[in-house]
Amino acid sequence: MIRPVTPDDAGALAALLTANRAYLAPWDPIREDSFYTEAGQREIISRAGNSHLYVIVEDDAIVGRVNLNNVVRGPFLSASLGYWVAESAAGRGVATRAVADLVDRAFTEHGLHRVEAGTLTHNVRSQRVLERNGFTRFGLAPRYLKIAGEWQDHILFQRLNEPDRR
Ligand SMILES: CC(C)(COP(=O)(O)OP(=O)(O)OC[C@H]1O[C@@H](n2cnc3c(N)ncnc32)[C@H](O)[C@@H]1OP(=O)(O)O)[C@@H](O)C(=O)NCCC(=O)NCCS
């Protein structure tokens, strides 16, 4: 269902992002045109830094992405979750399952204590994905991210690795 992205996925991702450019635009930062090219995607994949990037795969085709961004270790052991699913695969539980898989990996493979996610206040679909995965709302961040060209308020959610009781 999800697997780590590789540079060989760049072409397929560029094509999928191009096909979904208008669909994703209200939920995304404004992107440079290079973002929609194979070379641009290859660069993003190779410069992942402190992120863990995954593709969502359905019937051997990439249908979206899910990421753990800004992984911080030390006493925080936390990361920010990001995801999108192509319009052609929407509304079938793909994001819900991909987030479940990624959160599991965050707590096992990556040893994290906490995963955070922020949604636009009107992104009900994304809020449902988080709620179904046991995330709880902990705040409202005013003018938190520049999405679609505007600094927009976000609802913040988190899920803790519950066995971390010490
Ligand atoms: C948010 C997103 C990832 C959801 O992907 P998806 O695979 O369609 O999601 P799922 O099918 O797993 O779940 C969608 C939920 O929203 C609900 N939903 C779908 N359309 C809806 C609508 N118009 N209004 C309210 N709820 C809606 C579904 O019923 C489902 O909830 P349920 O599990 O309670 O039935 C996808 O729409 C997307 O990529 N959006 C643009 C990018 C984005 O917003 N990313 C997240 C940023 S925080």
Question: For 33, how many CA atoms within 13 A lie in the half-sphere containing its CB?
Answer: 0
* Fold category of 2-115 in CATH: Aminopeptidase (3.40.630)
Place of tokens 């990556």: 110
Amino acid at residue number 124: V
Residue 105: pLDDT above 70? yes
Whether pLDDT at 166 is above 60: no
Residue 88 has pLDDT above 60, yes or no: yes
The model's pLDDT over 114-164, given as tens digits with 9 standing for 90+, comes to 999 999 999 999 999 999 999 999 999 999 999 999 999 999 999 999 876
Residue 147 CA to ligand 1 center (angstroms) comes to: 18
Is 132's C-beta closer than 6 angstroms to any atom of ligand 1? Answer: yes
- The answer, yes or no, to whether any atom of ligand 1 lies below 6 A from the CB of 119, is yes
Token output for 19:
């096909």
The model's pLDDT over 31-75, given as tens digits with 9 standing for 90+, comes to 999 999 999 999 999 998 999 999 999 999 999 999 999 999 999
How many angstroms separate the alpha carbon of residue 50 from the centre of ligand 1?
A: 27
Distance CA 113, CA 104 (A): 11
Name the residue at shortest CA distance from atom 26 of ligand 1.
125
Q: Which atom of ligand 1 is nearest to the CA of 132?
A: 33
